[in-house]
Structure formats: structure tokens, C-alpha cells
Structure 1
Amino acid sequence: MINDDLNAFDRIPMAMGQEAAQVESDVVWAIMLSNPLMNDGKTLFHADHGNLGAAADMTIDSLQAGRTRMRTQKTANGRFLNNAPSFLIAGPLKEQKANQFTSSNYVATKNGDINPEYNRTLTPIIEGRIVDNSWFLSADPNAQSIDTIEAAHLAGHEGLQTEQRQGFVTDGVEIKGRLVFGAKAIDWRGMDKNPGA
């Protein structure tokens, strides 16, 4: 190839990078949505962990119930963590409600439907991988000392590693991408789930 007018060789590493980011997201969301067993033999979201609500639609009351469960989580030695939810996570089926409850522009149709200010401080995250009515509250991992799902790269191999070499037998270029990535649920106290109605 004398010249690459279409920038194909520049686009291939970019496409690999986008795919690597999708793989990382797939791994983390698969853990969250599969509700794996923790080291105590109970699932990540479990009534005994105090982070699983009774199935309910997203309402002011069900949001408050989730907030209460998060606020009353305790450390291993019995101290209250006082976790404050920062994110409201839902799938496309609950996108409208999630955006309403987190918007300062939401106007209630009845006097009793006032949306509290603390709901409007939540940041909505809409994730296409959530294909049912379930929704989650999550603390900000940068503000709280609890990490729920830990994602990590091999030291010295952070992110996608790419290599390329010129062909000798066949005229061309080989481009290889390698991603060394893993994730695991390590604590249940930073998130709360409602299966939805």
C-alpha cells in the first residue's frame, strides 16, 4: 500500500479501543445483573444484606425506601456507614421515570406528588443492558469508602495494548490488540436494588 487515503490503519486501533471499552462494560454489567454469590454464600443483592427492596415501581416512596436501606448499612464492626446514593440506575423501560425523578423541571400533577430535592441530586444512568423493570441506587465510589464491583487491569497493562508489524510473506500490516481485565463483586453495601414492578 503506497498511501492510506482512507486512514484505515488509524481507524483500526480506534475500533479496537471502542471494542475493549465495550468488553469491560459487558464484564462489569454481567456481574451486577447476574447477582452472583458473595463470600458469605448469599447473592450480591439479598434481603439479608439489606440492599434488596420489595418489587415496586419507581416512586417517591420506593426511592426513599432504597435510600433508607443504604443509609442504614453497617460496617463489619457495626458502625453505620451512612451511605448516600448518588446515582439512579435504570434500563430503557424506566428511563422516563428516572429522568423525571432526577429533573428539576419535573412538575407534580397533584399536591402530594412533590419530588424532594434530594431526588433531584441523583444522577441518572440509563443502561441498555438492563432489559427489565429493575432499578438501582448507587453511592459514589469516589465519595464513599465502599466499592461494590472492583474492576482492574494487570499492572503495566492498563487499558488496551496494541502492537503492529509489517508483513513479509504477505504484503500488509498486522495489528493485534490485547486486553488484560477482570472484575469482581467485593461488597454489597454500596448499592441497592429494586426488582421493579
Structure 2
Amino acid sequence: MHDVRDIYTQARAYAIGSAPELKQVLEGAEYEYGGLEEDKASYAVTKWGRMIRLTWEALVNDDLGAFLRTTQAMGIAAARAEADLIYATFAANSGAGPQMQDGVNLFHADHGNLAASSAALDAAALGKARILLRRQTALGGGTMNLPPRFLLVAPEHEQAAEVLLAASARAMNQGSGNELVTDWISKLELVVEARLAGAAAYLLTSPQSVDTLERAWLEADNGPVVRENESFAVDSRDYKVRHVFGARWLDWRGVVKLPISS
């Protein structure tokens, strides 16, 4: 078996901001021009792959038909590699995330997307994160008022998040202070990812509201490509998977990091 990883030409992605703020047009006056702000980011897709060789004897003695699922297993491995690359960005620079186009890391006070540390994942902590999301300012000017859509957590906070969502759906009291959990939390879609460290949770808006992370595939492949070939010199069958993909954060405005100390 062997691995391959080749670097391709840099691709440019544009995080398109909102149109400029409107100005009053007086009677008989001309409209003023404004710019359509663009925030350009560059990244490259990379090629990942693996090969497996199954001997004739192994194929013949496979009574359970496990090797018939080889192509499916390699496709799943390609999906894992893609997720590994994407979620590794959350851990970059000691959890501050990758450096953005402005030279500042993804999660930073200057970006207004780093909440104060909380002792636990609770309604009060999510409320503070929601404020940061709402108060983001568009590239073209003006408040974006982004609505929260996803709650992304590590397995360590999965149960606490489920309790929060359930209590919110029933408008129940929760926590040591017996505080009422508001119903907006129940509308969040919970996403649990084992690749994340347990020291934080993340509140994200919908990708339709603002550019966040862009995932790219090689257009010619359109996803993982699995091929198989019969060997001539040796009685065996070779399987090869190739997956060419890349990912890049385009905008910090659509995600808020909530550090959790416990």
C-alpha cells in the first residue's frame, strides 16, 4: 500500500459581501455609485489516495462476501479524509483557527466571533454567542443580524446540548439557577463531531446567510474515484481510490466560538 498527496495550482475564492449601504436620493438628484465589496481568498485542492491488493486466494476464500464492499469502504475512507482536513482547521494555531485574508486568525476578538469562556454549555453561554453572531457587520457596511442555525459540539458536550434543546422545546427550567430556557435554542440543528476538542462549542449561521467554509472538488472527478484492475503477473486484484479536494474558510462572520472551561 502507498499514499499519494500532490499539490495543485492555487485557486481563488471570493467571499462576496453585501451591496453598499443605501443613501437617500433627493428629488431630481442623481444616484451615487457604491462598490460591491469582495474579499478574496486563495487555496489549493490536493490529491489523496490509497491502493489495496487482494490476492486470488483471499477472494476465493471470502465466504462472507466482505471484499465485495471494498469500493464502498474506500469511498467512506475518502469521506473521512475530507472531514479530517476540514475539522483540523478548528484546531489550527492552538484553536484560534487558520489565518484569514486580513492576517488575523479565524477566531479572534478583532473578528467579533470569540465569546467569553463559560464553565459549561448552557443557555446563558449560547445567548452571548448569539449576540456576537447578530452584531456582525457586512463587508459592504451595515449590521448583518445573522440568525443562529447550527450548534456544533464535541462528544463531551453532546448530552448537555441535547438537554438544552429538549428543555428549550418545552420551555422548561434548567440549571442550578432554575432558569427558563428560551425556545430559540430548540430550533438549532445539533451537529456532533468527534474530531473536535472538548474545549469549545460553535454557533453557526446558515451558509445561505453568509459565506463560511468552502469545500472544493476537482470538477473532472466530482468526488472520490475508485478503480479496480486485474493483475497479470500475479493472481490478484488491485483497488485504487483517488480523491482531489480542498477547503478554505472564506469569512469569519458566520461562526462564533464558545470556549468551555469544564
TM-score by length of 1: 0.91
Residue 189 (structure 1) aligned with residue 247 (structure 2): no
SS of 2:227's partner is strand
Counterparts in 2 of 1:1-197, with a 5 A limit?
Answer: 1=56, 5-34=63-92, 35-56=97-118, 57-103=120-166, 104=169, 107-108=172-173, 112-141=178-207, 143-144=208-209, 146-197=210-261
Q: Which amino acid aligns with 2:138?
A: T
The secondary structure found in structure 1 opposite 2:220 is: coil
* C-alpha distance in structure 2 between counterparts of 1:49 and 1:38, whole Å: 10
| Structure 1 residue 132 displacement after superposition | 2.2
Following the alignment from structure 1 to structure 2, what is the Cα–Cα distance between the partners of residues 9 and 75? 52
CA distance in 2 between partners of 1:67 and 1:164 (Å)? 49
Asked if 2 retains the 8 angstrom alpha-carbon contact of 1:138 and 1:192, the reply is yes
Measured on the aligned residues, the alpha-carbon RMSD in Å equals 1.9
Measured in 2, the distance between the counterparts of 1:106 and 1:23 equals 40
Code of the residue aligned with 2:103 in structure 1: it is G
Distance 2:157 2:233 in 1: 55
2: CA distance between counterparts of 1:132 and 1:157? 35
Aligned length: 195
Question: Displacement of 1:138 after TM fit?
Answer: 0.7
* Whole-Å separation in 2 of the counterparts to 1:81 and 1:63: 18
Instruction: State which drifts further: 49-58 or 110-119.
Output: 110-119
- The CA deviation at 1:5 is 4.6
Unaligned runs of 5+ in 2: 1-55
The residue type equivalent to 2:258 in the other structure is N
**Under a length normalisation based on structure 2, what TM-score does the superposition of the two structures give?**
0.69
8 Å contact from structure 2 (residues 171, 182) kept in 1: no
Q: In structure 2, the residue corresponding to 1:179 is in which secondary structure?
A: strand
Per-residue Cα deviation, 1:125-171 (whole angstroms, up to 9, x for no partner)? 11112232311001121x31x22211110112121101111111001
Shift of 1:106: 7.3
SS in 2 for 1:181: strand
SS at match of 2:152: strand
More strand by share: 2
Quick one: which amino acid aligns to residue 179 of structure 2? D
Residue 121 of structure 1 and its aligned partner are, at CA, apart by: 0.5
Tell which structure's C-alpha radius of gyration is larger.
2
Contact 1:149/1:186, CA 8 A, preserved across alignment: yes
**What is the distance in 1 between the residues matched to 2:235 and 2:177?**
73
Matched-pair identity in %: 34
- Runs of 4+ in structure 1 over 3 Å off: 1-6, 109-112
CA positional deviation for 1:182: 0.6
Deviations 1:6-49 (A, max 9, x none): 33442111110111111111111011232111111110011110
Show CA shifts across 1:61-101 (max 9, x none).
Answer: 22111111111111112122221111111112211221111
User: Shift of the alpha carbon at 1:111?
Assistant: 8.0
SS at match of 2:173: coil
Alpha carbons 2:171, 2:183 under 8 Å: kept: no
Shift of 1:184: 1.0
